[in-house]
Structure 1
Amino acid sequence: MSSAPPAPPLGLILAGGLARRMGGGDKPLRLLAGRPVLDHVVERLRGQCDGLLLNANGDPARFAAHGLPVVADSVPDFAGPLAGILAGLDWLVAHRPNDGWLVSVAADTPFIPADLVARLHAARAAAGTPLACAASAGRQHHAIGLWPVALREDLRAALAAGERRLGHWTAKHGVAVAEWQAEPVDPFFNINTPNDLAEAQDIFRRLG
Structure 2
Amino acid sequence: MTPESLPAVILAGGNASRMGGAKDARLLAGKSLLRHVLTCITPQCGPIALNANEDSGRFAPHGLPVLPDSIPGRPGPLAGILAAMDWAAELGCPCVLTVPTDTPFLPPDLVSRLRENAGPGQFCLAASAPTDGETRIHPTCGIWPIRLRKYLRSTLKSGRRKVMGFALAHSPASAVWTYSATDPFFNINSPTDLAQAEALLSANGKAGAKDCHHRNP
Same fold (TM over 0.5): yes
5+ residue gaps, structure 2? 130-134, 206-217
Which residue matches 1:90? Answer: 86
The offset of 1:183, in angstroms, is 2.2
Of 179, 190, 193 in structure 2, the residue corresponding to residue 193 of structure 1 is: 190
Which residue matches 2:180? Answer: 183
Of 19, 38, 45 in structure 2, the residue corresponding to residue 42 of structure 1 is: 38
Aligned pairs for 1:76-155 within 5 A: 76-94=72-90, 96-97=91-92, 99-125=93-119, 129-137=121-129, 138-155=135-152
Partners of 1:118 and 1:176 in 2: CA distance: 14
3-state secondary structure, aligned to 1:134:
strand
3-state secondary structure, aligned to 1:104:
strand
Hey, which bits of structure 1, 4+ residues long, moved more than 3 A? 4-8
Which residue identity does 2:95 align to in structure 1?
W
Deviation digits for residues 155-179 of structure 1 (CA, Å, limit 9, x no counterpart): 1111111220111111111111111
Partners of 2:78 and 2:25 in 1: CA distance: 22
RMSD: 1.5
Partners of 2:190 and 2:5 in 1: CA distance: 32
Which residue matches 1:159? Answer: 156
CA contact (8 A) 1:86 1:155 kept: yes
Could you tell me the percent identity over the aligned residues?
Answer: 46
Between 168-177 and 41-50, report the one with greater CA deviation. Answer: 168-177
The offset of 1:77, in angstroms, is 1.3
Which residue identity does 1:56 align to in structure 2?
A
5+ residue gaps, structure 1? none
Partners of 1:175 and 1:85 in 2: CA distance: 15
Which residue matches 1:12? Answer: 9
TM-score (norm 1): 0.91
CA contact (8 A) 1:129 1:173 kept: no
